[in-house]
Amino acid sequence: MKCPQCLTENEATATKCSMCEQALSPSRGKAVRYMSFYAEYFSFRELVTPQLIKVVYFVGACFITAAGLLSILSPDALDEYGVGPIFTRLGGIAALVVGNLVWRLMCEGAILLFSLHELLVSIDTRAGLLVRQGKRIEP
């Protein structure tokens, strides 16, 4: 359960935050947002890019899978490349396995960059809270 004040992750059974000692209430579902979508969008509090990357990943994975299956099932369609059907089928298997894996790693790396933003905001919020409480911050 996240503390509403400092955003520290606490145990589900905790009654007080382990960082700021704020009283925690049991979660009652999703919190109500008082800010409109447009206010969050234009203030960059809600990032759109991680969701967009997920859509791009899905579309790319479909294309890579379709190309791999096309190479495996109909190698004659790729005669213009001048390789035999065995190499075309092996290339299709490689596209299915390695191509999808590399595509996934690339998209995860992009999402990782955007999730660092959320982590840094959380650290900044906690550090500010500790400074206001007069506690010492150790590196």
For 1-56, the pLDDT digits (tens) are: 778 777 778 777 788 887 787 888 765 554 444 566 677 667 766 677 888 999 99
Q: CB–CB of 135/21 below 8 Å?
A: no
pLDDT in tens, 96-112: 999 999 999 999 999 98
Q: Rounded to whole angstroms, how far apart are CA atoms 103 and 105?
A: 5
Q: Which two tokens stand for residue 84?
A: 């035999």
Q: Which two tokens stand for residue 87?
A: 């190499």
Helix (H) or strand (E) holding 89: helix 85-94
Q: Rounded to whole angstroms, how far apart are CA atoms 60 and 97?
A: 14
pTM: 0.55
**Position 79 confidence tier, pLDDT thresholds 50, 70, 90:** low
